[in-house]
Chain A
């Protein structure tokens, strides 16, 4: 299999994730798009690991990334819950409390 196939797939997934983070209003959908980005990174790691056969470093790192993603989404959703308690909604665009009025 040519190497660029998984790599390009990773690029596409990553950019879809970027679009989702920048364009989606609901914070939880932003987090979901962020998961897409992490998956793209994982795909990249595993593809390179398959290309270089001697060690399993890439797969190890992919496992670590998954662990980190789990920890991060746990905390992230806790923050989302706090946001919901404070504002009554989870709209990232409407939560502009830190705005600096000139």
Chain B
């Protein structure tokens, strides 16, 4: 059952991802990103990581993609279709990506070809909470500081110089 769900979500994710990198309208690419991220959240759910799936939707789809759309607006992204891909380099990039896929895939299959995931009941939020606040407290705090730094940095970078 979960396998089927996972496969469906995975297929949707792949299709949407391809459309993200291929689409000729930028805003459409951003919207296809939403679909892709949502599908990945579904995959998370099928892997018994409900909390992560929820956080994915909240943060990624809710905040990050919105930020991307705002940036597109601020940089006057054109709404007409554009041949955006870098000509001459895209076949080369495709080859590189394919080779990488081959290597990684081969490695993965060779290593974990015969493993199986057992289905698990019960929520994961408790487990994650315990982990974060027992074993990963320091990285948690550091991440907070990092977020603060990113916030300040973003503000500092985007300030216009005041002409005196």
Residue positions of A touching B, CB distance < 8 A: 1-9, 11-20, 22-26, 28-29, 31-33, 35-36, 39, 42-43, 46-47, 49-51, 53, 55-57, 59-60, 62-64, 66-75, 77-82, 84-85, 89-90, 93
Q: Are B89 and A23 in contact (CB under 8 A)?
A: yes
| B80 adjacent to chain A (CB < 8 Å) | no
CA distance A7 to B101 in the complex (A): 12
Q: Are A72 and B150 in contact (CB under 8 A)?
A: yes
Question: What secondary structure prevails in chain A residues at the interface with B?
Answer: helix
Q: Which of B128, B132, B135, B153 lies at the interface centre, i.e. has the most chain A CB atoms within 10 A of its CB? A: B128
Known: A64-B139, A68-B146, A72-B150. A25 touches B101 (CB 8 A): no
Chain B residue at minimal CB-CB distance from A9: B10
- Interface CB pairs A-B, < 8 A, 30: A1-B46, A3-B112, A4-B112, A5-B7, A9-B10, A9-B14, A15-B98, A16-B14, A16-B21, A22-B92, A22-B97, A28-B71, A39-B37, A42-B40, A50-B48, A50-B117, A51-B117, A56-B127, A59-B131, A63-B55, A66-B55, A67-B59, A67-B143, A74-B67, A74-B154, A75-B157, A82-B158, A84-B74, A84-B76, A89-B75
